[in-house]
Amino acid sequence: MESNPAKSMSARSKLNRLGIGLAGLSIVTFLILYHFTLQSEAAIFSYKDENGAIHFTDDISKIPEEFRGSGDGFRKHKQARGSHRTTPSPAPQSSAPLEIPTVSSSTEEVQVPLIPVSGGNFLVEVLLNGRVKAKLMLDTGASFITLSEEVGQKLGVFNRGVSAEMPFNTAGGEAWMPLIALQTVSAGSATSQLVEASIAKHIKDIDGLLGMSFLGDFRFEIDRTNKLLTLKPPSKSEEVTWGGKPGNWWKSRFEYYETSVKSFSNRAKQMQRRGHKKAANMLKTAEFYKDLRQNLESRAMISGVPQQFR
């Protein structure tokens, strides 16, 4: 089993055949977007108990009735609405979750079958937003999941005016691609939430690329001989976790989002001064990461993550 998966792939040759070569943006992973509801508004809730302890939850029904009054330390915390960005429309409530193949394991790790294709590459069958199947090329050199326009249409992706976009280098020059947040991405029984992805009109022959915005949420190994992708939790044995994630994971996510907001905000200002036609899109990208940062803070509150990791 290979310990360095980056060396085992030759995705660049495949991308050249597709006419696209994604530039390596220093992007790590995605975090979880919660849609909580109170009077049709996204929120989380907190209350102070009789001992003065503050509790956070995403489900108002979990709060004892005697603590639901505004005079009893009850608060509703609004979350980012995220209406500015390109967003997949929600799955119809009648849609039943689909199943994708997985190999059972006696440990916490998940083993997913790899589908061999030409050029020594592999496809991985994934489930997007709990309802759209796709076979994505395993590409550890790609920062994002990148989807074809056809898959995007199945997800119901649409633009609300000027949307978050990012520039990528392609064989035909710089191309700006819409940036979206997938609610869930599953490979076998391994699932990540709020996963960054881009939509590329240049991808025609495959459904897309499975990049580090999903893979980076796990410790993973590629077994080319047995054609298996092994996904392990980010925490090590007996390591303290909050919401299933260790402290360093939380800290790195916060740092990543904060750095992204500053970087894209500064770049948007520079583009505005030059009169760049995509300056408004870059500003939306900065707002996109502000929303991710705010939702990460909400999840950290619910999970009780210590301040030192936030």
pLDDT at site 27 = 33
Give the residue among 160, 162, 111, 129 at the shortest CA–CA distance from 276.
Answer: 162
Residue matched to tokens 């030409």: 118
Q: Provide the greatest CA pair distance for the chain.
A: 65
Give the residue among 277, 229, 291, 255 at the shortest CA–CA distance from 83.
Answer: 291
What's the CA gap between 95 and 45, in Å, rounded? 29
What residue spans define the domains of the chain? 5-33+86-232
Beta-bridge mates of residue 196: 181
Burial (CB < 10 A; 0-12, 13-18, 19+), residue 273, is: exposed
pLDDT at site 31 = 30
> In the chain, which residues have pLDDT < 50?
1-42, 78-97, 100, 102-107
DSSP state for residue 86 in the 8-state scheme = B
Strands in the chain per DSSP E: 43-48, 54-57, 75-78, 87-88, 110-113, 115-116, 122-128, 132-138, 145-148, 157-158, 165-170, 173-187, 190-200, 208-210, 219-223, 228-232, 241-242, 245-246
pLDDT at site 118 = 85
**100 Rama sector, left if φ>0, alpha if ψ -120 to 50, beta otherwise:** beta
Topology of domain 5-33+86-232, CATH: Cathepsin D, subunit A; domain 1 (2.40.70)
Contact, 278 vs 176, CB < 8 A?
yes
DSSP state for residue 61 in the 8-state scheme = G
pTM of the model: 0.68
DSSP state for residue 155 in the 8-state scheme = H
**Residue 52 CB contacts under 8 Å (≥ 6 apart), including other chains:** none
How confident is the model over 127-139, as pLDDT tens digits?
999 999 999 999 9
Contact, 79 vs 44, CB < 8 A?
yes
Give the residue among 81, 43, 82 at the shortest CA–CA distance from 301.
Answer: 43
What are the backbone dihedrals phi and psi of residue 178, each rounded to the nearest 5 degrees, phi first?
A: -60, 140
How confident is the model over 248-278, as pLDDT tens digits?
989 999 999 999 999 999 999 999 999 999 9
Beta-bridge mates of residue 177: 166
Residue matched to tokens 């943006």: 25
Calculated CA dihedral for residues 295, 55, 57, 232, nearest 10 degrees: 70
